[in-house]
Structure 1
């Protein structure tokens, strides 16, 4: 997963916005997940800890840590993309992510939902910074991470 499509300008936009969002990553992670579920309510069935949950999302004890971890990993991966030249999630984590997504029944098109949710979350988090260029930078970063995960979406060994 080469980061060749990720320019210095894109990197600067991603880094600047992530630096601003980092301090609110728990809250933003939750917003990100709520947006995913607003866009695609059926996605709730893809998460073992949400599947049969009867409590409101905000009260689900496993959602906040999971949402924050996913949001932080996505953003940290984006920040490192140009410097590393590729998605920097450790290979073992990438394999685990791929296997987990595969096992949960995640399909390639589900990543379009996460992209939309991510972009909306960032736009709301840093409205004064938001621009078409920033949107493109985050789209590129998301797509490269999504491709890296999709490439590992197969049954675990």
Structure 2
């Protein structure tokens, strides 16, 4: 069974909840990443020279919004065509350049889901989580393909 209209709607609704507090949710997202993989700090230009995760950092917020937005867009692509195609072909080379490996994708996925769970609050469910997981897996597969 393909990605459903309902799954896409669940992703879109929780994405909007995420964006309602972009500054706070961005900090939360990167805090979750660094909690799980402290060495990943050097992969992000906006984290490299900071102690912890900087508050109100426009670059951090823009990157978080891009990551979550790409996953949301992946949900739309999965619903429409059943496959995720990267609009930005450079994503593969950027990830290679930063030294991203398979375990990093797992860490980001966990951080993304934890952040969304916080943002969505009472509307979070296994169904919402599953929709995001499928969309994220589609995006990460496309990025990994572009990395090879």
Interval containing the TM-score (normalised by the shorter chain)? 0.7 to 0.9
Match of 1:32 in 2: 29
| Counterparts of 1:16 and 1:64, CA distance in 2 | 19
Match of 1:143 in 2: 137
Distance 1:150 1:55, change over 3 A: same
Does the aligned pair in 2 maintain the 1:74–1:142 contact within 8 Å? Answer: yes
Residue 106 of structure 1, aligned match among 100, 107, 115? 100
| Counterparts of 2:106 and 2:13, CA distance in 1 | 24
| Counterparts of 2:16 and 2:81, CA distance in 1 | 18
Does the aligned pair in 2 maintain the 1:14–1:79 contact within 8 Å? Answer: no
Instruction: Give the aligned CA root-mean-square deviation in angstroms.
Output: 2.2
Does the aligned pair in 2 maintain the 1:26–1:65 contact within 8 Å? Answer: no
Q: Helix, strand or coil for the counterpart of 1:152?
A: helix
Does the aligned pair in 2 maintain the 1:11–1:79 contact within 8 Å? Answer: yes
| Counterparts of 1:19 and 1:136, CA distance in 2 | 17
Deviation at 1:13?
Answer: 1.6
* 1:4-153 superposed matches below 5 A: 5-51=2-48, 53-59=49-55, 62-87=59-84, 89-90=86-87, 93=88, 95-153=89-147
Deviation at 1:127?
Answer: 1.8
Using the size of structure 1 for normalisation, the TM-score is: 0.79
Q: Which runs of 5+ in 2 are unaligned?
A: none
Deviation at 1:84?
Answer: 4.3
| Counterparts of 1:5 and 1:70, CA distance in 2 | 23
Using the size of structure 2 for normalisation, the TM-score is: 0.84
Distance 1:56 1:117, change over 3 A: closer
Q: Which runs of 5+ in 1 are unaligned?
A: none
